[in-house]
Amino acid sequence: MVRPPGRGLSTRPSRLRRGPLRAGAFTSTLRSPRLTSQLGLALTVAFGVCLGTGLLSHAIQHPPAWFWWPARPVWLYRVTQGLHVATGLAAIPLLAAKLWSVYPRLFAWPPLRDLRHAVERASILVLVAAALFQLVTGLLNIARWYALMPFGFRAAHHWIAWVAVGALLLHIAAKLPLVRDVLPRKGRAGGGEPAPDEAPPGGLSRRGLLAAVGATAGAVTLATVGQTVAPLRAVSVLAPRRPDLGPQGLPVNASAAASGVVAAATDPAYQLMVEGPRGVVRLSLADLAALPQRVVSLPITCVEGWSADAVWTGVRVRDLVALVGADGRDVAVRVESLQRTGAYRASVLAPPHVRDGETLLALRLRGEPLHLDHGYPCRLIAPNRPGVLQTKWVAAVRVIAP
Ligand code: HEM
Ligand SMILES: Nc1nc2c(c(=O)[nH]1)N[C@H]1C(S)=C(S)[C@@H](COP(=O)(O)O)O[C@H]1N2
Ligand SMILES: [Mo]
């Protein structure tokens, strides 16, 4: 691309003509505004999907007053959060390729032409930093290297998402004229291929490079998506979780020991407390087992992108609240764990979930009493709900709103 001549320092001082700073330091003919635009388009789609699904996951966990999340279809959150993590992971090779396609610009001369150029470069710096931050923190989170993030992952990942998307929109606005020039749509006058895409002798063509980047993104997806798409389990060699490994054939997030609940959960005097408009009822494990039992097949869908189907047996939450005088058709219920600390020691069931006949306080998993790590003596399991809200080692169920 031909640059307009800069004012002032229009030629580079001779000290700054070495290494990557010398003229002609970058020789690849593959770099072009068209390649960069195509990669940018793919990244925009991936970041858009990530932002939408990420904000949705946040709203489900911290619903604002206007927000309403249904209990059906059972698999919806599995799809949205699966997409979040899959598009985020696929964005890693896309971002790498895009940075490769533009990084020689770092060494362009003059570094700043005018105020507009300075603002544009600053916004790109913010964009690159925020995009890298999102992909790296997301990856560390699903790999459970929490120790490498000595800050609140969720708050940081949430707010930097807005920074990334804001900077992305600015960047797109600044580059749109160029993109429209080099990405002509079919059928437009003068459309089609602006330049031949032939490979230099013995080299790679732009199309070949795009195909390689696409294949890498596809390989990353295949190598990880089996953590939620069961038929692809066998090829998912890089998936952080195998959804069939763990006690009773199910992964564990936060064991009983790590959560400090072993003594309370195995106490023979355990009783579940149920509180509602007509007061309090306390139920032993035998009392719970004597109530009508339901069998449901529902997935655990961790926010970290893995999910696994299982068969659960237990008591409907709406039957439990009926014991204390609540009509399960339109109440909200708070489910509290024996666990004393930690962000996931309680969760709220909104009316659509309390009403649903598959929302259970489960006593059994795959026909056996729950394993201690899966929430013994009893745990919540409800359809279309993030794993973090499927409270284990339940101590109390309280009706909190009429
Ligand atoms: C490799 C890429 C990524 C991975 C593996 C990843 C992973 C995750 C995970 C595990 C969560 C759930 C956090 C929780 O509820 O505890 C999450 C939430 C979220 N993600 Fe990502 N993410 C990635 C990229 C992105 C990108 C590119 C964006 C935005 C452009 C984004 C925006 C969000 C938002 C807004 C949330 C909700 C945070 C909250 O609940 O407050 N993520 N992500
Ligand atoms: N009390 C309590 N319940 C909890 C958690 C927890 O840390 N404490 N972790 C949640 C998370 S993040 C997930 S994904 C599921 C996992 O259930 P599992 O370990 O039985 O697979 O439990 C949820 N229930
Ligand atoms: Mo989870």
Q: Is there a cis peptide before residue 73, judged by omega within 30 degrees of 0?
A: yes
- pTM, rounded to two decimals: 0.91
Ligand nearest to the CA of 61: 1
> Across the chain, how many H-helices and E-strands are there?
9, 10
pLDDT at 253: 92
What is 74-106 written as a DSSP string? TTHHHHHHHHHHHHHHHHHHHHHHHHHHHGGGG
Distance (Å, whole) CA 190 – CA 96: 31
Pocket of ligand 1 (CB under 6 A): 47, 50-51, 54-55, 57-58, 61, 84-85, 88-89, 134-135, 138-139, 141-142, 154, 157-158, 161, 164-165, 303-304
Residues above pLDDT 70, as percent of the chain: 93
Ligand nearest to the CA of 264: 2
Burial of 73 (0-12, 13-18, 19+ CB in 10 A): exposed
Lowest mean pLDDT among 142-156, 285-299, 336-350, 379-393: 142-156
pLDDT at 180: 92
Residue pair 253/391 in contact (Cβ under 8 Å)? The answer is no
Task: Return the exposure string of 38-52: e unless at least 16 CB atoms fall within 10 Å of the residue's CB, then b.
Answer: bbbebbbebbebbbe
Which of 117, 143, 74, 60 minimizes the C-alpha distance to 360? 74
Mean pLDDT for the chain overall? 91
| Surrounding residues of ion ligand 3, Cβ less than 5 A | 253, 302, 387-388
Residues 62-106 have pLDDT tens digits of 999 999 999 999 999 999 999 999 999 999 999 999 999 999 988
Distance (Å, whole) CA 158 – CA 152: 10
Q: CA–CA distance from 324 to each of 208, 332, 400 (Å)?
A: 67, 14, 12
The mean pLDDT value for 236-262 works out to 92
Burial of 248 (0-12, 13-18, 19+ CB in 10 A): middle
Residue pair 373/45 in contact (Cβ under 8 Å)? The answer is no
